[in-house]
Every structure is written in structure tokens, then in C-alpha cells.
């Protein structure tokens, strides 16, 4: 059962080949057996999962149907889940139990999904390797000495290891797409505002976006269908109709215009990954697509702009964690100032502290105009670059990451080199565009992903291209040894 995709599980449940409760117990046993190898879960919710599975089986017995009814999944541990620890991978929230469900959690629960647990992540979603978690590093199932990517590394590792068919993730600068690429999954970052952020603990509010992580584009389409939609509780949610994403999967790619940015193939890209990207282009050309070179001239400014904007917003968002209302509180504070200082120093890890300091500096008097305001101007230039490119092409294709997964600890002393791993992904967040990563081969036994970007609200187009590519390739079907 654990090798079935989400779509196959949905068909099996509909045909009564097995029950949701049977499947849930198989996967919970598998998690108990194998997760100690990869550390992909922070919290398991066996009782909740069993109750939800039984309820889903009862709904099916009563004649109800639905693609997600009875399907097991897990949530990244920054989605609030009522009565269950929501830690954000941090000591700061180790004792926090959310009093309500995030909109994403509530919508998927209403659709009948079964929550197996909460997955490990970089602390407060700050990282590209899932090494900054208070609960320890997550390991890549393809090679346990290597990182799975981050910050949604727990969700990625769990799905890649076949512990469950799909999981939720969030993407602030590539945190769905990058771990998807490094673990051989399909991961989708929707258009900013397509999926509600209500109940999703914020890192950088103008960049964060929730999305699905699964093995296939078909599975991502099913999961996005359950997640997307307008939410009046989220002021940044877009009131835009949600199409039937599964209905467009089989559309022809004849005449599809694919743009290849010339700036993507610079010195920082592993030439073996470049070769696999070009091989994927050839496969899409066989399916009828046409390829055109485009330019994103401000791409080089994306990393510095992002690492001003994101930390600035993080410093503001994380100011609420002060040891007073909820979260970690230091022992025996001498006074209010001591309470603030020690609670935050003890509760936040080094990477979170680094970004808070950078963000506070960028927003401080005398530096706001020089840093934050300039970064926002660059952000607009990047958006304009994409608008010009999409006037000529339908999708943009390139590498998801410049390198395959690196060894755990290899970049700990050089955070800048870790930041550069987001080179290809952060532009979609700065511009608010939808982006998808799909499996495209292997380098030294480690997975490589190809990224697709599309105009606003064209998630269906991305899923269509990825599904057609997966219909003629088998990279996405490969399973890591031992899992």
C-alpha cells in the first residue's frame, strides 16, 4: 500500500479494495519502523488519524465520495492544529498547542483527509537544509548522509521514503520546490494568495505560501484542489475562482511556448544538472512544445533583495515571541528586560537569531531607505522582467537548484553558500508567481529537479506540463533504496 500514489489510493478506496483505517494503520506502523532513520516527524497523531480514518470510512459507507476522502497525509509543523503541538521546529514553541486549525488544515480535514502527524522543518521555516530544527536534522532518504532540503524537509523526506503519499509544505523562497527537487518529488508553490495563510505561523508575510508536496503532478492537483480558495480570514487571500486542476492534466502541449532564461546557465550551475535540464526540454519538445530563449536581467539581484526583505519581515513577525503570552519563558527572570532577552536568546536558534538581527538592522532608522526600500524596488524590477518574458512564452523552465543535495553539516560554517542554493527559486516568491519542481534525473545517485514557472493563477498549466512530462518519463517513480 505504501507504494501507491495519492490518486491510486483514492481509486482503491472508491473501489473498496481497502479501508482508510486499514491504510492508516499500515502507514503508522511504517512510520514507527522507518522514521527513526530520517527524523521526518516531530509529532505523530495516531489517535486523531484513527478517528479521522474511521469517520472517512463511515462517510464512504453512507454513499459519500471524494478524491481526498480517507487519504492519509501530514502537515508541516507550522500549520496550527487544534489541541496538537505546533512547534515551527523551534524550542520557542515546543510547548505550544494551537487553539484552532489553520484554514489549510480545516479545508483538508473537511475533504476527509487523515492527519498522520506534523513534519519536521527548519526552525521558523528559515533554512535550505532542514538542519536548524530544534528536533534535529532531517536526513535525505536517497542518502542518509545528505540533507533533504528545506525548510519543508520533513514533509519531503517522509513522502520520498514512502511513509505517506503526500504532505503540505510552505514556500517562502523555495521551501517546497527545493526539497522536492532534492528528494525526487513534485512540489508546487501556488500564486501568492491562492491558498490561505490564516493559521500558518508567519516567517515573511509577503512571501509565504502554502502548497502540496507529492510524488506526481496528478497528486499535487488533487491536493491543491482541497487547499485552494478564498478565505475572508486572510487579508491577502485572493477571491479568484478555483478551477478543476485534474481536468486540465491531459491537455496537449502542442504549441506550448517554453522560455529558457539565458541567465540560468551561469558559472554557479552544476554542468550535470544543466545537461538534465536540457534533456527535459527535449522531452517536452517531442510532446509538441516550442522553445525560446528569454531574459531575466535582474536575476542577479534576487538573492540580496530577498535576504533583506525576508529577514525584515521575520524580525517584525517574530517580535511577538517574547516569553510573556505563549511560547518559551526563561526561568526566574530578574525583571521584564531580562525576561525578554533570555526568553528569546534561549528560545531561538542561531539561524533565526541571525535573520532577526539582519532584519532589524535593515528596518532601523537611517538604513530603511538604503536597504529595505531598495530591495522592494528590485522586487518590482524582477516582477517586470517576468511580465516581459510571459508576453513571449507560456511557461519558463530551468533548474530548481544549482547543485544536488549536499552533506549534512557541509554548509554550517558558510550560511551564504546555503543561501545561494535558493538562486533559482526565490524569484517566484518575490514576484508572487506560481512555481513547480518535478523530478528530472539523478547526479551521483541524488535526485535533480526541473522548475517550471507560469503567469499568475496558472497552476493548472504547470500541473499539465508536469503531468505530460511524467507520462513519458519515469524519474518520479524511482524509490530510494531501503524504503
The catalytic site residues sit at: 76, 151, 175
| Residues forming beta bridges with residue 38, ordered by sequence position | none
Cα–Cα distance measured from residue 302 to residue 309, given in angstroms and rounded to the nearest whole number: 10
Q: CA-CA-CA-CA torsion for 219, 221, 223, 224, nearest 10 degrees?
A: 160
Q: Which of 172, 256, 244 is nearest to 207 (CA)?
A: 172
> How many residues would you count in the chain?
483
Cα–Cα distance measured from residue 399 to residue 418, given in angstroms and rounded to the nearest whole number: 16
Q: Give the per-residue SS3 of 143-179.
A: ECCECCCCCCHHHHHHHHCCCCCEEEEECCCCCCHHH
Cα–Cα distance measured from residue 67 to residue 56, given in angstroms and rounded to the nearest whole number: 12
Cα–Cα distance measured from residue 47 to residue 50, given in angstroms and rounded to the nearest whole number: 5
| Residues forming beta bridges with residue 396, ordered by sequence position | 259, 453
8 A C-beta contact, residue 352 and residue 123: yes
Q: Counting Cβ atoms within 10 Å, is residue 325 exposed (0-12), middle (13-18) or buried (19+)?
A: exposed
8 A C-beta contact, residue 447 and residue 439: yes
Q: CA-CA-CA-CA torsion for 290, 291, 297, 298, nearest 10 degrees?
A: 70
Please report which helix (H) or strand (E) contains residue 381, including its range. Answer: helix 374-390
Helix (H, G, I), strand (E, B) or coil at 210: strand
Q: Give the per-residue SS3 of 302-329.
A: HHHHHHHHHHHHHHHHHHHCCCCCCCCC
Pairing of strands 290-294, 257-261: parallel
Reported for 364-371, long-range contacts at CB under 8 A and 24+ positions apart, including other chains, are: 371/308, 371/312
Tell how many helices (H) and how many strands (E) occur in the chain.
15, 11
Amino acid at each position: 500500500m505504501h507504494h501507491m500514489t495519492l490518486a491510486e489510493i483514492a481509486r482503491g478506496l472508491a473501489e473498496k479494495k481497502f479501508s482508510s483505517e486499514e491504510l492508516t494503520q499500515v502507514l503508522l506502523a511504517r512510520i514507527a519502523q522507518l522514521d527513526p532513520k530520517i527524523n521526518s516527524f516531530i509529532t505523530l497523531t495516531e489517535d486523531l488519524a484513527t478517528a479521522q480514518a474511521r469517520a472517512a470510512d463511515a462517510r464512504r459507507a453512507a454513499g459519500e465520495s471524494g478524491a481526498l476522502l480517507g487519504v492519509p497525509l501530514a502537515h508541516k509543523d507550522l500549520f496550527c492544529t487544534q489541541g496538537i503541538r505546533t512547534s515551527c521546529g523551534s524550542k520557542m514553541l515546543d510547548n505550544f498547542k494551537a487553539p484552532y486549525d489553520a484554514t489549510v488544515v480545516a479545508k483538508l480535514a473537511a475533504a476527509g483527509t487523515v492527519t498522520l502527524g506534523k513534519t519536521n522543518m527548519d526552525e521558523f521555516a528559515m533554512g535550505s537544509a532542514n538542519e536548524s530544527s530544534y528536533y534535529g536534522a532531517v536526513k535525505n532518504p536517497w542518502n542518509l548522509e545528505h540533507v533533504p532540503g528545506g525548510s519543508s524537509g520533513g514533509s519531503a523526506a517522509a513522502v520520498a521514503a514512502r511513509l505517506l503519499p503526500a504532505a503540505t509544505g510552505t514556500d517562502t523562497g523555495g521551501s517546497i520546490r527545493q526539497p522536492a527537487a532534492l528528494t525526487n518529488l513534485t512540489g508546487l508553490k501556488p500564486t501568492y494568495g491562492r491558498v490561505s495563510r490564516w493559521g500558518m505561523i508567519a516567517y515573511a508575510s509577503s512571501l509565504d505560501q502554502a502548497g502540496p508536496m507529492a510524488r506526481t503532478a496528478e497528486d499535487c492537483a488533487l491536493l491543491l484542489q482541497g487547499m485552494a480558495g478564498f478565505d475572508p480570514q486572510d487579508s491577502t487571500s485572493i477571491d479568484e475562482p478555483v478551477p478543476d486542476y485534474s481536468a486540465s492534466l491531459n491537455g496537449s502541449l502542442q504549441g506550448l511556448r517554453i522560455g529558457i532564461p539565458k541567465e540560468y546557465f551561469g558559472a554557479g550551475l552544476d554542468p550535470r544538472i544543466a545537461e538534465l535540464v536540457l534533456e527535459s526540454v527535449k522531452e517536452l519538445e517531442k510532446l509538441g512544445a516550442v522553445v525560446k530563449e528569454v531574459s531575466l536581467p535582474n536575476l542577479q539581484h534576487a538573492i540580496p533583495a530577498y535576504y533583506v526583505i525576508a529577514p525584515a519581515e521575520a524580525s517584525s513577525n517574530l517580535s511577538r515571541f517574547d516569553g510573556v503570552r505563549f511560547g518559551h519563558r526563561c526561568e526566574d527572570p530578574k525583571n521584564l528586560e531580562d525576561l525578554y532577552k533570555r526568553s528569546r536568546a534561549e528560545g531561538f536558534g542561531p539561524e533565526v537569531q541571525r535573520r532577526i538581527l539582519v532584519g532589524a538592522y535593515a528596518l532601523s532608522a537611517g538604513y530603511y531607505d538604503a536597504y529595505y526600500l531598495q530591495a522592494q524596488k528590485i522586487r518590482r524590477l524582477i516582477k517586470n522582467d517576468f511580465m516581459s518574458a510571459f508576453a513571449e512564452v507560456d511557461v519558463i523552465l530551468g533548474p530548481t537548484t544549482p547543485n544536488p543535495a549536499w552533506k549534512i553539516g557541509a554548509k554550517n560554517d558558510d550560511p551564504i553558500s546555503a543561501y545561494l542554493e535558493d538562486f533559482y527559486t526565490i524569484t517566484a516568491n518575490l514576484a508572487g508567481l506560481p512555481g513547480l519542481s518535478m523530478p528530472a534525473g539523478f547526479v551521483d545517485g541524488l535526485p535533480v529537479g526541473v522548475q517550471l514557472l507560469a503567469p499568475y493563477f496558472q497552476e493548472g498549466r504547470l500541473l499539465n506540463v508536469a503531468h505530460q512530462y511524467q507520462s513519458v518519463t519515469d524519474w518520479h517513480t524511482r524509490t530510494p533504496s531501503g524504503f
